[in-house]
């Protein structure tokens, strides 16, 4: 059961990361995301996504 919860947690983090990328960075065609912007996106995804995943895993236990 723990492996199942871990896979769900990973999927939720991945989904949250993608959503933050799509929402936070309005990129025009041909624009490149800088390394600093990518680091900021990853940090925000972790800060805001991790508590959601933890809450969901805790709720299911």
Rounded CA-CA distance 6/12 in Å is 10
For residue 5, the model assigns a pLDDT of 65
Residue 15 structure tokens:
């989904």
Positive or negative: CA dihedral 49, 59, 8, 22: negative
Rounded CA-CA distance 2/44 in Å is 26
Rounded CA-CA distance 16/53 in Å is 9
Residue 23 structure tokens:
């929402």
Residue range 11-60, pLDDT digits in tens: 777 777 766 666 655 656 667 888 998 899 889 888 888 888 888 888 88
Instruction: Report the predicted TM-score, pTM, of the whole model to 2 decimal places.
Output: 0.45
């Amino acid at each position: 059961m723990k492996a199942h919860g871990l896979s769900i947690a990973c999927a939720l983090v991945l989904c949250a990361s993608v959503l933050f990328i799509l929402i936070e960075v309005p990129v025009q065609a041909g624009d490149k995301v800088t390394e600093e912007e990518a680091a900021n996106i990853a940090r925000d995804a972790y800060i805001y996504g991790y508590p959601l995943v933890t809450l969901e895993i805790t709720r299911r236990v």
